[in-house]
Amino acid sequence: MTRTDRDHLRVLSICHYVLAGLCFVAGCFPIIHLVVGIMIVNNEFGPPPQQANAPGPPPEIFGWLFIGVAATMIASFWALAVGLIVAGRCLSRRKSRTFCMVMAGAACLFQPLGTALGVFTFIVLARPSVREAFEPAREAPEPNEFDRYHSE
């Protein structure tokens, strides 16, 4: 593996960490919707007691809908962030090339930065020299008793 390949893998690893941080922050925004959903379910949007003709609170199903969608979005963003952190670690250690390629594809969903990172990761991991660096080192087999006595 050339020095350029090592540098590219190091930069990709750092970029995976940065994108993971951005995914984590983006996953925090739906917390607002989660709180609103919990407030709807707990009936905290009812009319004040002095206004008897005021419209009632929104139906409880809307609260559960807010909670479900927000929880799914939070879990998805945070799972992507954790996967990107693990992929960045794998890139720096030159292990689990297939996992790194899968996470590069998943990063493409986080547009436009994730798409650029995913494409560049595919390009670097497709190089034959980088592919060889990710393969486990093959150890020479130890000679057995028969080989030791008959090789002399």
Q: How large is the average pLDDT for residues 120-135?
A: 90
Average pLDDT over the chain, rounded to whole?
Answer: 86
The pLDDT > 90 percentage for the chain reads 57
Beta-carbon contacts of 16 under 8 Å, excluding residues fewer than 6 positions away, are 84, 85, 87, 88, 91, 103, 107, 117, 121
Q: Is the pLDDT of residue 146 over 90?
A: no
Q: Examine the pLDDT at 147 and tell me if it is beyond 80.
A: no
CA distances from 61 to 35, 40, 67, 126 (A): 15, 9, 10, 48
**Residue 40's pLDDT band (cuts 50, 70, 90):** confident
| High-pLDDT (> 70) share of the chain, % | 80
pTM of this prediction?
Answer: 0.78
Give the closest residue to 45 by CA, choosing from 59, 32, 57: 57
pLDDT over 70 at 141, yes or no: no
pLDDT in tens, 48-91: 556 556 666 667 888 899 999 999 999 999 999 999 999 999 99
Cα angle 18, 22, 26 (rounded to 5 degrees) comes to 170
| Residue bearing the bigger pLDDT, 150 or 12 | 12
DSSP letter for 38, please.
H
Helices 97-107 and 60-93 cross at an angle (nearest 10°) of 140
Confidence at residue 89, expressed as pLDDT on a 0 to 100 scale: 94
The answer, yes or no, to whether the previous bond of 112 is cis (omega within 30 of 0) is yes
3 state SS of 69: helix
Contacts of residue 40, Cβ cutoff 8 Å, sequence gap at least 6: 57, 58, 60, 62, 63, 66
- What pLDDT shows up at residue 143? 62
Pick from 36-40, 68-72, 144-148 the range whose average pLDDT is largest: 68-72
Which value, in Å, is the radius of gyration of the alpha carbons in the chain?
A: 26
